[in-house]
Amino acid sequence: MRRMALIVQKYGGSSVADAEKIRNVARRVAETAKGGHRLVVVVSAMGKTTDGLVALAHQITPAPDPREMDMLLATGEPVTIALLAMALHALGFKARSFTGPQINMVTDAAHTKARIRRIGGERGRAALDAGEIVVVAGFQGATEDGEITTLGRGGSDLTAVALAAALDADVCEIYTDVDGVYTADPNVVPDARKLERISYDEMLEMASLGAKVLQSRSVEFAKKYGVPVHVRSSFKADPGTLVTREDSGMEEVVVTSVTHDRNQAKVSIMRVPDRPGVAAQVFAAVADQNIVVDMIVQNISRDGFTDMSFTLPRGDRARAAAVLEEVARRVGAEGVQHNDRVAKISIVGVGMRSHSGVAARMFSTLSREGINIHMISTSEIAVSCVIDDKYGELAVRALHEAFELAGR
């Protein structure tokens, strides 16, 4: 007898953007259910709903209170779960929708970027046992005290992977508007190539460097619990990309992909007194706001003063600037400057561990295009440069070509 698999599927915003698309998702879900599989379906808010809610909040205030922001953002996904459950009923299937709190997605209280503490899978399991398709609102949860939280932008991916781990699912399928994970964003680089498989480590690096096809925390979670993730198209039946453990069957290339992140801002604190403890004060103030700082550069000091620059998510810049003005005054710095028009461009590949000259090739490619580099950082398997936002797409295309990623 064929074993009944448990499959978690996640459909992103563009895949559920209108009623017709939701009915399309219901038909795809129904196909899998007909195969005799047990199914949990995680969905995002319809289309650009979440962006719209963020914009609405910013029409009220530049630095919205994070708790109230979550209250607002968590209204998006419930619309989709109800409509998808109805669409499944219309096709003759048993289905039941659950919000994040209803499925017991328990998180910490870090509003707008909450971390999952535990998932009480009981309600989901009971519904599955009753033969129902379980439809879950992605992106949202609640604290032990019942405060509504969200899991960071793109967080429906994390909901799906976490549920797959909690329910010990056979696979977590991420359905989206591209056919899989490519060597670069296929919407920017037309000749980008679909990867058949990619390791958790490379995918994690790509995701944290801005390839939004998967949320980085979802990849972290998948790696930790060994959840196989299959990224594929909502609209085509073709196999997509399998994100899995590194193995010898993977392509042996130095650079796997080029990634860009346009959601960054650069902040500089000018003429900071160069003495012990100053950096600690600056970054403690930012960390207290729950803001994650990325690249940090401190210049050589002249006459006892130095400039300090770092990057952070653009959406956090207004809150960071407010506390930094205060810290700058306290430590006797000259002032704070910021630049929202920057992009981070990265090359990623596990082969970099054992190859030299990769960074040099990246810099010479950018210089050939006349692109100035503001900041550089490296990890074991990536090199990143901050450049002017307006050159972002040009840089990605030039690097994709320089590293010969298109036709192999």
Question: Where do contacts with Mg ion occur on this chain (CB under 5 A)?
Answer: 12, 154
What is the closest distance, in whole angstroms, from the C-beta atom of residue 363 to ligand ASP in the complex? Answer: 33
Q: Given the rule CB under 6 A, which of 25-33, 142-150, 173-181, 348-356 is the region that contacts ligand ADP?
A: 173-181
Closer residue to ligand ADP, CB minimum distance, 336 or 399: 399
Interaction between residue 257 and ligand ADP (CB under 6 A):
yes
Size of the site for ligand ASP (CB under 6 A): 13
Interaction between residue 230 and ligand ADP (CB under 6 A):
no
Which does residue 320 bind out of ligand ADP, Mg ion, ligand ASP, none, counting CB within 5 to 8 angstroms by kind? none
Which does residue 66 bind out of ligand ASP, Mg ion, ligand ADP, none, counting CB within 5 to 8 angstroms by kind? none
Which of residues 64, 124, 141, 154 is near ligand ASP by CB under 6 A? 154
Interaction between residue 286 and ligand ASP (CB under 6 A):
no
Which of residues 113, 153, 260, 319 is near ligand ASP by CB under 6 A? 153
3-state secondary structure 278-324: HHHHHHHHHHHCCCCCCCEEECCCECCEEEEEEEEEHHHHHHHHHHH
Interaction between residue 184 and ligand ADP (CB under 6 A):
yes
Question: Taking CB positions, which residue lies at the least distance from ligand ADP?
Answer: 12
Closer residue to ligand ASP, CB minimum distance, 47 or 180: 47
Which does residue 392 bind out of Mg ion, ligand ADP, ligand ASP, none, counting CB within 5 to 8 angstroms by kind? none
Question: Taking CB positions, which residue lies at the least distance from Mg ion?
Answer: 154
Q: Which residues contact ligand ADP (rule: CB under 6 A)?
A: 12-15, 44, 154, 176-178, 181-182, 184-187, 211-213, 257
